[in-house]
Amino acid sequence: MPFDLLDITRCPRLRRIARVRNRLDAAVPLLLTSVFVGGCAAPPPPADSRVTAGLVMPVDRMTRWAPGIEDGVPSRTRVCATIDAGPLGDGAQDATAAIQQAIDACPEGEVVQLSSGVFRIEAEHPVTIGRGVVLRGAGAARTVLRKTTETQNPLIVIGRRWLEEEGSVPLTADAANGAMSVEVSSVEGLSPGQLVLVDSLADERYVYWGDHPALVPGGPARSWFTRPDRPVGQVLEVDGIDGRTVSFTAPLHLGVDVAHAAQLTRWRIPYGAALAGVEDLAVDGGRDDNITMRLCKRCWITRVDSRNSGGDSIAIDTSFRGVLRDSYVHDTVTAYPGGGGYLLSVSQYTADSLVENNIIRRGNKVMVMKASGGGNVIAYNYFDDGYIEGDEGWVETGLNASHMTCPHFELFEGNQAFNADGDDTWGGAVYNTFFRNHLTGHRASFDDRRNRRAVGLMRGHYFYSFVGNVLGEHPDLSMPGRLWARLFGPASWRLGYTPGRWRADVDARVVETVFRHGNFDAATGAVEWAAGYDTDLPASLYLDEKPAFFGDAPWPWVDAAGTTKVHSLPARVRFDAGRPIP
């Protein structure tokens, strides 16, 4: 039965089921909605609906997804300095100063090369790459930067660790979605190439703060990862200045208006680093991230093994066109909620960045997006084993654009993950898209006893689109040893709920605004299409051609309408073969 228009709040039978489900949830995981929809028919499509060629989702939910460095990650060949681990005691001495001195003396566009061995990073400050220099190891299995103390420092910072605002000016006219420029009251201090922030006060029509006490008006959390009460914003690069019009190299993904006090803000420096990178090494034991990328433009992290972190393993904050690719991000020392055990964080207005072809697993939350700025693409990664230490049966969020309001217009394409969801702990998000992902509904290493689902959206997550995804495992629907799975099949959709209050009413707006088209659901064995949209799905929403890392493997690897629903994801193949770094 088509259920893309189904609203649980308008169906008495489903309301009764939801009440029963909420009472049983502590003991029995979700009895998924799609198993029970037979007693409540969805409205039929309009009789005069016509397919629009090429349109596979509402046009107002799309933006220009063109993430990362325009011509790809540069290949730097000129080495300005080589540092050998041997004279530094191969892990016996603190190597921070030696590495920092080499970076500071290296000309832009060149490489500081580290030998095989262990480099201890224990100084009061992390290694900082504040200019267009590459720090490169001899390979992630050979070169290790290690921290063993509990001092709250990352191992590496690309850009600036701490930011200082220079000043803000108000916009003098509204700027719509897709605008390439804004009008401001003053252009003093602005110049082409500079990074700036365009943000506005929260628009309560779509910004959902949640009901945590710290998020009440004036509460401290309204300044976490955002400027105070300004969760909608985006880092942009100035392209030019004409009078009081400032143009940018990328579009605004979500418009801002004068009614909500839209502003343009610049920092004390134009940017922290540009075209800087970290390559071919391992980082181990950071205690306020392993690697932090902040106030960067076109910076990258490639072929890195990031492990045993506290805080975020990899954090991309307040940056523009950053790249994380071909890396293995895994294992935290504090797998508890609260910010100490996350693996990937894309936060603080970061925009137009690319996370591609990585393995990300075994953390409390495998990823978060905290007040991110739109246009970011999370693609062709393998995510697994998000868990809470001491409560391993609880299924954490997998793919998500959440954990501080209000991420928007983010794209998740071609990933494999145990679920997609949006948590409501610190508010919601809007206009995010999940395209051609395989959402298995279960984790590889844990017994999924509570809150199992392939797709979930908690309260406050509005105008989401799910197109061409495969939900659950296919064709084998059985999960031996789990009675509920044998009875009801894998969990599928769970929309508008809140884990803090299982008996609470569903957030009807979540259900009403979600768009579903061309998804295969293993619980029903069917592909469900939305009336009036093209059933010929494109290969990608951001790529023009097959990525090189797929080699001879089929692409797109997820084909919800095909005979073979899922092929091989290169990141998963690498993990299963025991060679996580390509």
What is the DSSP secondary structure assignment for residue 41, as one 8-state letter? P
How is 543-566 classified by DSSP, letter by letter?
-SS--GGGTTS-SSSB-TTSSS-B
How distant, in Å, are the alpha carbons of 88, 137, 284 from that of 118? Answer: 9, 10, 10
Which three-class secondary structure string do you get for 81-93?
A: EEECCHHHCCCCC
> What pLDDT sits at residue 157?
98
- First and final C-alpha spacing in the chain: 43
292 token code pair: 């932090």
How far is the C-alpha of 40 from the C-alpha of 95, rounded, in Å?
A: 66
| Predicted TM-score (pTM) of this structure | 0.90
What is residue 20's three-state secondary structure? helix
Residue range 28-47, pLDDT digits in tens: 332 233 322 222 223 333 33
How far is the C-alpha of 474 from the C-alpha of 471, rounded, in Å?
A: 9
How is 295-360 classified by DSSP, letter by letter?
SEES-EEEEEEEEEESEEEEEEES-BS-EEES-EEEEES--STTTTEEEEEEETT-BS-EEES-EE
Residue range 316-362, pLDDT digits in tens: 999 999 999 999 999 999 999 888 899 999 999 999 999 999 999 99
Domain boundaries, the chain: 1-67+330-352+369-582, 76-163+272-320, 165-267
pLDDT higher than threshold 80 for residue 16: no
3-state helix, strand, coil in the chain (%, to 5): 10, 30, 55
Residue range 368-422, pLDDT digits in tens: 999 999 999 999 999 999 999 999 999 999 999 999 999 999 999 999 999 999 9
Contact 491, 497 (CB under 8 A): no
> What pLDDT sits at residue 454?
94
